[in-house]
């Protein structure tokens, strides 16, 4: 089972490491400004939205899901 707070944290940390604001990330991915906040509170995030975020952050979906600690695997 995936914990939405952990995934949201990984998205935020990856964005910060790449010097990308959450506002910029969400805007470029066509998502609501509150999407990450809502997701961390348990609201669903579509697989398409997660893939867009991973593409924008230049990492794998598996990395965002916490299935690997290497953002390059399965990219």
Instruction: Write out pLDDT tens, residues 28-70.
Output: 999 999 999 999 898 989 999 999 999 999 999 999 999 999 8
Distance from C-alpha of 29 to C-alpha of 13, rounded to nearest angstrom: 17
- Smallest Cα–Cα separation from 10: which of 56, 48, 63, 51? 63
Q: What is the mean pLDDT of residues 3-27?
A: 96
**For the chain, give me the number of helices (H) and strands (E)?**
5, 0
Question: For the domain bounded by 4-65, which CATH number is listed?
Answer: 1.10.260.40
Q: What is the dihedral of CA 72, 56, 31, 46, to 10 degrees?
A: -30
Reported confidence tier of residue 72, pLDDT bands at 50, 70, 90: confident
Give the pLDDT confidence of 55-64 residue by residue, as tens digits: 999 999 999 9
For residue 2, the model assigns a pLDDT of 85
């Amino acid at each position: 089972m995936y914990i939405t707070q952990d995934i949201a944290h990984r998205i935020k940390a990856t964005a910060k490491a790449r010097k990308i604001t959450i506002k910029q990330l969400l805007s470029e991915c066509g998502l609501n400004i509150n999407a990450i906040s809502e997701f961390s509170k348990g609201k669903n995030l579509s697989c398409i939205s997660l893939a867009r975020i991973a593409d924008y952050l230049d990492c794998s979906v598996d990395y965002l899901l916490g299935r690997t600690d290497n953002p390059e695997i399965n990219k």
